[in-house]
A = this chain, B = another copy of it.
Amino acid sequence: MKMVKVVGSVTSTVKDSSLEGFKLLFVQSVDLELKGKKEYFIAVDTVGLGEDEIALMVTGSTAKRTEITSGRTVDGTLVAKVERIDLK
């Protein structure tokens, strides 16, 4: 999984019907110190995230493996809210 930060959201009305009802969040990859990298994705939120929160994103075919995204045209899904990071 990639660790990402929620930086915004995206609105789309003209879209594949399988995307109806999803909240599409704008996320940015972060490094060890939670500093943003120049990698951005749009991902479906399945855990109720707010802005600036840190999340784990699954990509590829795995993104369709949650109950909510099963069978949908989705390749990026936020599956966990990160509450604590322990570095050595």
**A interface list, Cβ under 8 A from B:** 1-3, 6-16, 18-19, 24, 26, 28, 31-32, 37-38, 40-43, 46-48, 51-52, 56, 58-66, 71-77, 79-88
Q: How far is the CB of A70 from chain B (nearest CB, A)?
A: 10
Establish whether residues B42 and A81, one from each chain, have CB atoms under 8 Å apart when the complex forms. no
A8 touches B47 (CB 8 A): no
Min C-beta distance of A55 to chain B, whole Å: 9
Do A75 and B87 touch across chains, with their CB atoms under 8 A apart? Answer: no
How far apart sit A38 and B15, CA to CA, in the bound complex (Å)?
26
Is the CB–CB distance between A41 and B11 below 8 Å? no
Interchain CB contact (< 8 A) of A11 among B11, B38, B75, B82:
B82
